[in-house]
């Protein structure tokens, strides 16, 4: 293998893994805030891709105007999901949250199919078809943009959670809602803002992923890869979501090149099963024991 081929595979794996990490971050945020695993998160990503296509294509908006508009729409939808639906099942078994978000996922999927149609489509970005040569390695500009966007989004998110009053309030509410409420934190509103923040991450992932894989209803499948990344990195860990996403991206890329046909599509789930059997807490997750 030449260095150019090695570097190309490495960059492609990092770009794919960065998308998985971004989706996994959204899942972690909502789970830590409300203890609900949002199975509709992938459908929010898919909806963002269709909204972005609608604004850029039929509506004729420039990309730099359509992007923030798409992010705002999905963020408002995420806020509404928690405020109008998830908040109503507080105190119920976790299975209720699972069923609620699965039902919501099917509703979003059906609404998008009825509103936009089931055919695949695409939209152009400022980086479509452009490449950059780095040390003799030709890299698609869109891959570099994905890596840069995910890096900046992660750093901004970490800074927000650690150095702002709202971010600290979100962390406090996720750790102990009753204690946070007794200290004057509006827990319900904060939780809804966390869901809105997860919607922002889903929208970014959808708009970045759509030009690569086309705008299609099946885009929601990326959430399954993000779940594998969560389990690998450590469920409930922000750092684990990032590490797990990048690792899954690399594993998929190299398996697709050197593995048998079709192995790229299933290797993430093989990793999921192996990690659950051998190390259930993942690479960076905390061990939890229960005396029985």
* Residue 249: count of CB within 10 angstroms of its CB: 23
* Number of domains forming the structure of the chain: 1
What pLDDT was estimated at residue 287?
58
What residue ranges of the chain have pLDDT lower than 70? 1, 286-292
The predicted pLDDT at position 281 comes to: 87
- Is 286 domain-assigned? no
The boundaries of the domain holding residue 25 are: 3-278
288 is a domain residue: no
Give a yes or no: residue 28 inside a domain. yes
Give the pLDDT score at 236: 80
Judge residue 114's burial from the number of C-beta atoms within 10 Å of its C-beta, 0-12 exposed, 13-18 middle, 19 or more buried. exposed
Answer yes or no: is 292 within a domain. no
**Token pair of 253 as six digits:** 């890329």
**How far, in Å, are 7, 15, 24 from residue 12 at the CA level?**
9, 5, 19
Domain membership of residue 141 (yes or no) is yes
**Tokens of residue 252, six digits:** 């998929």
Query: What pLDDT does 193 receive?
Result: 95
284 within domain boundaries: no
Report yes or no on 245 lying in a domain. yes
CA 88 to CA 82: how far, in whole Å?
9
pTM, 2 dp: 0.92
pLDDT, residue 290, reads 45
What CATH number did the domain enclosing 95 receive? 1.10.3470
283 found inside a domain: no
Q: What's the confidence (pLDDT) of residue 178? A: 85
């Amino acid at each position: 293998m030449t260095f150019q081929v090695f570097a190309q595979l490495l960059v492609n794996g990092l770009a794919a893994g960065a998308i998985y990490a971004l989706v996994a971050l959204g899942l972690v945020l909502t789970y830590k805030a409300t203890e609900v695993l949002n199975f509709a998160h992938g459908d929010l990503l898919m909806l963002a891709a269709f909204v972005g296509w609608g604004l850029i294509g039929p509506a004729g908006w420039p990309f730099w105007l359509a992007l923030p508009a798409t992010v705002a729409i999905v963020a408002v939808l995420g806020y509404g999901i928690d405020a109008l639906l998830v908040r109503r099942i507080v105190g119920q078994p976790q299975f209720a949250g699972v069923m609620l978000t699965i039902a919501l996922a099917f509703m979003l999927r059906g609404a998008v199919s009825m509103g936009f149609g089931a055919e695949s489509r695409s939209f152009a970005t400022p980086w479509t078809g452009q490449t950059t040569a780095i040390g003799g390695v030709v890299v698609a500009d869109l891959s570099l943009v994905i890596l840069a966007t995910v890096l900046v989004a992660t750093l901004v998110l970490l800074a927000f959670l650690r150095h702002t009053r709202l971010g600290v309030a979100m962390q406090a509410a996720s750790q102990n809602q009753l204690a946070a409420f007794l200290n004057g934190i509006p827990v319900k509103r904060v939780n809804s803002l966390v869901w809105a923040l997860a919607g922002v991450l889903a929208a970014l992932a959808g708009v970045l992923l759509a030009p690569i894989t086309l705008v299609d209803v099946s885009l929601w499948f990326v959430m399954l890869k993000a779940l594998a990344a969560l389990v690998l990195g450590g469920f409930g860990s922000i750092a684990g979501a990032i590490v797990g996403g990048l690792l899954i991206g690399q594993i998929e890329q190299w398996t697709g090149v050197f593995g048998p046909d079709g192995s790229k599509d299933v290797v993430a789930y093989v990793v999921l099963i192996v990690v659950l059997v051998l190390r259930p807490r993942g690479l960076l997750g905390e061990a939890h024991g229960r005396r029985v």
